[in-house]
Homo-oligomer: A and B are copies of this chain.
Amino acid sequence: MADKGGNIARDIYAVILAGGSGTRFWPLSRETCPKQMLQIAGEDTLIRQTIKRINGYIPEKNMLIVTTEDKAQDLRFHIGSLGPSAKEVQFLSEPVGRNTAPAIGLAAIHLNQISPSSIMVVMPSDHAISDKERFLNGLELAIRGAREDYLATFGIKPTHPETGYGYIKANESESVGVEGLFKVVRFVEKPDLQTAKTYLANGSYYWNSGIFVWKTSKILSEIERHLPTLYKTLKEIESLFFKPDKLNNPKTQLLNNLYCCIEPISIDYGIMERSEDVLMVPATFRWSDLGSWTALDEIQEKDQHGNILLGNTIDIGSQDSIVFAGERVLATIGLRDMVVADTPDATLIAPKEKIQEVRQVVDILKKNGREEHLIHRTVERPWGSYTVLEKGLGYKIKRISLKPGARLSLQRHRCRSEHWVVVSGTAKVTREHEVYLVHTNESTFIPVNGKHRLENPGSDVLQIIEVQNGEYVEEDDIERIVDDYGRSS
């Protein structure tokens, strides 16, 4: 398929929007683990599925993930685990999120430098799509429309009168020269239930999927026409930072200032609703924007009582409920239209109709200075992961898992010493000028301020239990002297 239509792959770039934080999936989502990094629908996390969906059709080096600076490193590690070629995926960091139109505009001026004749496939990183082949078939149609200087978008045939999505009214009788592509009459905002019902009955209204295909040059000229202020700022950024790698330099204060002054606006509202050159591909795949826990109802298989029960659940007689458990036992009895979501340190329980109020829970956690909205007990790292088992006065206990061949940075802590007990595998330990092996059921001690490094020289996963001792046992007490992942102090 990559060869259909002549050199499809070479001038096509995927722009994957990954700036969202996904508060609405708390407690599973956290600031450091936003929705796109969750595995809530399908066999992998949403952003990894987004990459896999176009993998083989668009080469990794033509994939551009647009996100904010604070998320870029974690996302890079997260993508990296897909395999060696994932390292070729490019990142473009916004100093701060300004909704989709500026993010897409920034990607456009970046691509304009690399390939002025390129075609952009803009995709959210956190949507669920059921079928790769159908998606790629639609994408091919959309690309044909884009080559004709249209803005092409994917419309989803509604299955119910949804009030949470915007709609696209298509004109299915006006031909645009390519079979299966329709002219768009207009974009409409989220309707009320009555209106949504008439849209559903009408048949020519589609859900707006937020997946767009266009020439880089076309979207820039549309931005120039419909969002002239944004265009002016983008051109200023282009002239000052025309070298693409500068965009990732966090010290570029001028870029920060320019970008922060941009008015947030969505591409739908800023361009799609105003442009006259919009085409629609009716999608043949199942799709959800996963706007909240209840969106799982649209894409997950249900049991005979309408429940979605995942993880370690025991249920007696619930109906139409979503229970998302982990390793802990979640026992539910006779629930009706409820959502229960469990993680090791926090649980959410709400009726489906009130699930939107989870944002208020996150606000309260923030206000109270807690951590349950920020981080998970288990944190993924490029070398493996660690899990905080307990934190008490003057100590913290972690289980650390190292992938075969991986190593942590050469580091040092000002305020804590560390006891390491190897519970599986063999550790190679650097402590000051010594280097030695610690086998399963052996332990070692790292004194305060001692330069040290933990490494897994074996071919199995290394697991150690780390007991930290000290008056201050927070993550920011770390000086990285040498790091394989570019995190040196």
Contacts and interface: CB of A to CB of B under 8 A. Distances in A.
Contact of A334 (B342, B350, B424): B350
**7 closest A-B pairs by CB:** A333-B350, A334-B354, A395-B423, A329-B346, A441-B469, A421-B467, A331-B361
A220 interface: no
A399 interface: yes
* Total copies of this chain within the assembly: 2
Interface string A464-479: 0101011000000000
Interface in A432-472: 440-441, 443, 445, 463, 465, 467, 469-470
A429 to B, nearest CB: 15
Nearest to A469: B441
A469 B423 contact: yes
Interface stretch (A31-39, A54-62, A386-394): A386-394
Interface string A379-401: 00000000001101111010100
Given A317-B357, A333-B360, A397-B399, 7 more contacts: A331-B347, A333-B354, A334-B354, A394-B423, A395-B465, A397-B397, A417-B441
Interface stretch (A127-135, A195-203, A221-229, A364-372): A364-372
Contact of A361 (B316, B390, B440): B316
Nearest to A339: B333
B394 A389 contact: no
Contacts of A333: 348-351, 354-355, 357-358, 360-361
A340 interface: yes
Contacts of A345: 328-329
A398 to B, nearest CB: 10
A240 interface: no
A332 to B, nearest CB: 5
A282 interface: no
A389 B396 CA distance: 12
Given A389-B390, A395-B423, A423-B467, A334 B357 contact: yes
Contacts of A295: none
Contact of A349 (B331, B358, B394, B467): B331
A48 to B, nearest CB: 26
A295 B470 CA distance: 45
A390 B421 CA distance: 14
Interface of A: 27, 314, 316-317, 328-335, 338, 340, 342, 344-351, 353-355, 357-358, 360-361, 364-365, 370, 372, 389-390, 392-395, 397, 399, 417, 419, 421, 423-424, 440-441, 443, 445, 463, 465, 467, 469-470
A419 B392 contact: no
Contacts of A344: 328
A266 B433 CA distance: 74
A329 B372 contact: yes
Contacts of A372: 329
A331 B346 contact: yes
A44 to B, nearest CB: 25
Contacts of A440: 394, 469
Contacts of A338: 349
A222 to B, nearest CB: 41
A136 B346 CA distance: 44
B350 A392 contact: no
A408 B191 CA distance: 68
A27 B346 CA distance: 17
Contacts of A353: 334
Nearest to A358: B333
27 contacts: A27-B329, A314-B361, A317-B354, A328-B347, A331-B347, A332-B349, A333-B348, A333-B357, A334-B351, A334-B353, A334-B357, A338-B349, A342-B347, A392-B423, A394-B423, A395-B424, A397-B399, A417-B441, A419-B419, A419-B421, A419-B443, A421-B467, A423-B467, A440-B469, A443-B443, A443-B445, A443-B467
